[in-house]
Amino acid sequence: EPEVTQTPSHQVTQMGQEVILRCVPISNHLYFYWYRQILGQKVEFLVSFYNNEISEKSEIFDDQFSVERPDGSNFTLKIRSTKLEDSAMYFCAGPKDRYTDTQYFGPGTRLTVL
Amino acid sequence: ELKVEQNPLFLSMQEGKNYTIYCNYSTTSDRLYWYRQDPGKSLESLFVLLSNGAVKQEGRLMASLDTKARLSTLHITAAVHDLSATYFCAVDKLETSGSRLTFGEGTQLTVNP
């Protein structure tokens, strides 16, 4: 069964550095989502991406964050200048196929900011 | 603002016992989801409940939805150790911009032999 893939699985960076997290969703559905989960806490919505544009973003998704779909398949989340509090698991999610809206989550990228 | 509350947050139970996890949400939503998360892993979709009175079962887990009470339950029957995980409920509202999920705090379930 096709899966959402994310790279890297673990990223360690210094505070103030830029990081790019990558995702390849299952299908060519138009909606994709990014969520984050700080260790031991609940999953929080970051941003939704529809038809190559941001459709909704949370208060967490400030000017330091951006999303792109650079080549029609990959889907990236960029953090321009990382802070210690950005340390978390970052998940991308998307529908499995055009017939269902259930969001299937990728394996996640663990971001550690030192 | 849509809020989702789960209880209990921590649940330790013996194998073979039954128990229920509760999920309350604050405003009308379109769909109610249950996910399972093992430590250090991603979220695995368990159930999607779409309408009032919906009931779904998979193995020892059964989920139900009461939209009037804004309540969903996840019932565990004859628990086994393999069910140990964190269980999240989440709700969404269908908008033209998609359907962002709002999650509860999660219930950390430990099943003891």
Q: What is residue A84's three-state secondary structure?
A: helix
Taking residue B43's Cβ as centre, other Cβ atoms within 10 Å add up to: 27
**Residue boundaries of the structural domains of chain A:** 5-113
Q: CA-CA distance, A53 to B10, in Å (whole number)?
A: 39
* A50 inside 8 A of chain B by CB: yes
* B102 inside 8 A of chain A by CB: yes
Across chain A, which has 114 residues, the per-10-residue mean pLDDT values are: 84 97 78 92 92 88 91 88 96 77 88 97
**Is the CB of A107 less than 8 angstroms away from the CB of B41?**
yes
Q: Is the pLDDT of residue B96 over 80?
A: no
**Is the CB of B48 less than 8 angstroms away from the CB of A50?**
no
Q: Which fold has domain A5-113?
A: Immunoglobulin-like (2.60.40)
Q: CA-CA distance, A18 to B61, in Å (whole number)?
A: 42
Q: CA-CA distance, A108 to B12, in Å (whole number)?
A: 27
- Written as one letter, the residue type at A3 is E
pLDDT digits (tens, 9 = 90+) for B69-93: 999 999 999 999 999 999 999 998 7
Q: What is residue A29's three-state secondary structure?
A: coil
Q: Which A residues, 52 through 111, put their C-beta within 8 Å of a C-beta on chain B?
A: 55-56, 58, 91, 93, 101-108
What domains, with CATH codes, occur in chain B? 4-112 (2.60.40.10)
Strand positions, DSSP E, A29-108: 31-37, 43-50, 53-57, 65-68, 75-79, 88-95, 103-105
**Is the CB of A56 less than 8 angstroms away from the CB of B101?**
no
- A48, A58, A105 ranked by CB distance to B43: nearest: A105
| Environment class of B35 (CB within 10 Å of its CB; exposed 0-12, middle 13-18, buried 19+) | buried
Q: Is the pLDDT of residue B57 over 70?
A: yes
